[in-house]
Amino acid sequence: MFDSNSLFEFSRQYCIAICAFLVPLNLLLAGLTMTFAGLNRSRRQISRTAAIACIPALVMIFHVYTWLAIGVVMAPTYILLWLGSTCLCLNLWAIIHPQSMRILLNLVVSRLKALKRRQNSIGAKNFH
């Protein structure tokens, strides 16, 4: 029989190590998923990457749940819950509709490039 109390206790006992592993992993894999979508990789490749990236996001959410279940309500609890949920939502978005993610990412990149060009031209005028 599965004993969830042992799993919950393990999660709480090794919290710092778990978070030290899951936080960068979530950021890296969600960023990789968005990069693949922005570079217009195949839908299969994006879906595979996003599906793999959903695993640590779900683990993060369940890890935070072990703290919420015993009544620990602190800022890190909500920050980690927000991080896991955001990464999970981004990965699900990439699986469900990668075209809209690619369009948004390309729009953001083009706006940032235009802003950088404008700042460079203003800086060049002030330099002379």
Rounded CA-CA distance 45/125 in Å is 45
Taking only the tens place, the pLDDT of each residue in 94-127 is: 999 999 999 999 999 999 999 999 888 877 666 6
pLDDT of 25 over the 70 cut? yes
Our count of domains for the chain comes to 1
Mean pLDDT computed over 73-101: 95
pTM: 0.85
pLDDT for 91 equals: 97
Helices 75-96 and 98-127 sit at what angle, rounded to 10 degrees? 110
pLDDT for 26 equals: 97
**Which structure tokens are listed for 83?**
């991080």
* Under 8 Å between Cβ of 101 and 47: no
**Which structure tokens are listed for 113?**
């490039």
Range of the domain at 28: 4-127
* Residues 6+ positions from 54 with CB-CB distance below 8 Å: 88, 91, 92
pLDDT of 69 over the 80 cut? yes
**Which structure tokens are listed for 43?**
């839908």
40: left (phi over 0), alpha (psi -120 to 50) or beta: left
Mean pLDDT computed over 70-86: 93
Tokens 């799993």 correspond to: 7
